[in-house]
Amino acid sequence: MTDLIIPETDTPGAKAARVNEFIDVILTEWATEEERQYFLAGLTGVDKQSNELFGKDFVDASPHQQVTLLRAMDDYTANERAEKNGRSTQYGP
């Protein structure tokens, strides 16, 4: 998932930057139990949405399905933030 969010371009992607190892350190050595559970619940939510849409966990979905889900989640979050701030994310009238 991290390499889909931060892909390799002319600079290293998340995998090459070892983002997964950084996340592990943060979760095991820095985060509170509440923060850890919140993070893990988020990952469980991604799998739940993936199963609802594609009938499989995120890791088992095709790369196209994974990107589709991540974009839908990003769009949803952007809309929620915009509504909270009284702005529209829609273009045109």
Structure tokens at 68: 């589709």
Give residue-wise pLDDT tens across range 27-86: 999 999 999 999 999 999 999 999 999 999 999 999 999 999 999 999 988 888 888 887
CB-CB contact of 14 with 5 (8 Å): yes
The identity of residue 43, as a single letter, is L
């949405």: which residue's tokens?
49
CB-CB contact of 49 with 61 (8 Å): no
- The confidence band for 88, taking pLDDT boundaries of 50, 70 and 90, is low
